[in-house]
Amino acid sequence: MIALGSDHGGFDLKERVKAYLDREGIPYQDYGCHSKESCDYPVFGKAAAEAVASGVCEKGIVICTTGIGISIAANKVRGIRCALCSDPLSAEMTRRHNDANMLAMGAGMVGPNLAERIVEVFLHTDFEGGRHARRVGLITEMEEA
């Protein structure tokens, strides 16, 4: 299950991502927002991140106009490693090396076709482990300090 969240600036792209997930048969839960009415991205970034951190959802995707604010909000939730990606290579590498469990995108930065490819790569790339697991472990230790 994939947790989704956006603000009004990311709403249209989130709807495009939902259509992609539907076509691929990938289940998701939409944690809002549910319209283009002005709203606050931290609310929806936090809701999606909490679903991932609690284990209700395996991964998450959050979207605002730049992807910056909503990624910062998501990363405030313990256990979340949310990476802002604007290209498929970044999405691949953050999964392979950082075991990112959330993807952030900026609706004003990437078009819908590119966003679908970024999501595809993010969802289908595995964590390499090995030396990268040690580094992710160090990040986890930082949260516990």
Residues contacting residue 24 through CB under 8 Å, at least 6 positions apart: 120
Say whether 85 is catalytic. no
Tokens of 118: 């970024």
- Written as six digits, the tokens of 86 are 């604007």
124 classed as catalytic: no
Active-site option among 33, 57, 64, 85: 64
Catalytic machinery residues:
64, 97
